[in-house]
Amino acid sequence: MAFINYVTQIQFDFGAISLLKSECQRVGITKPLIVTDAGVKAAGILQKALDQLGGMAIEVFDQTPSNPTEAAVMAAAQQYQKSGCDGLIAVGGGSAIDCAKGVAIAATHTKCELGSLKTFATIEGGSGLITDRVAPLIAIPTTSGTGSEVARGAIIIVADGRKLGFHSWFLVPKTAICDPDLTLGLPPKLTAATGMDAVAHCMETFMAPLFNPPADGIALDGLARAWAHIERATQNGSDREARRQLMSASMQGAMAFQKGLGCVHSLSHSLGGVNPMLHHGTLNAMFLPAVVAFNAQAESIQTEHRLDRMAYAMGLGEGRGDDIPIAIKDMNMRLGLPSGLAAMGVTSQQFGNIINGALADHCHKTNPVIASASQYIEMLTLSM
In order along its 384 residues, the chain shows pLDDT tens digits of 566 667 789 999 999 999 999 999 999 999 999 999 999 999 999 999 999 998 899 999 999 998 899 999 999 999 999 999 999 999 999 999 999 999 999 999 977 677 789 999 999 999 999 999 999 999 999 999 989 999 999 999 999 988 899 999 999 999 999 999 999 989 999 999 999 999 999 999 999 999 999 999 999 999 999 999 999 999 999 999 999 999 999 999 999 988 999 999 999 999 998 998 899 999 999 999 999 999 999 998 999 999 999 999 999 998 899 999 999 999 999 999 999 999 999 999 999 999 999 999 989 999 999 999 999 999 999 999
pLDDT at position 338, please?
96
Cα 253 → chain centroid: 9
pLDDT at position 250, please?
95
Cα 336 → chain centroid: 21
Burial class (CB in 10 A: 0-12, 13-18, 19+), 44: exposed
pLDDT at position 169, please?
93
CB atoms within 10 A of CB 314: 23
CA 352, CA 154: separation in Å to the nearest integer? 25
Which H or E element spans position 155? strand 153-157
Q: What is the pTM of this model?
A: 0.91
Q: What angle do CA 378, 383, 384 make, to 5 degrees?
A: 105
163 touches 119 (CB < 8 A):
no
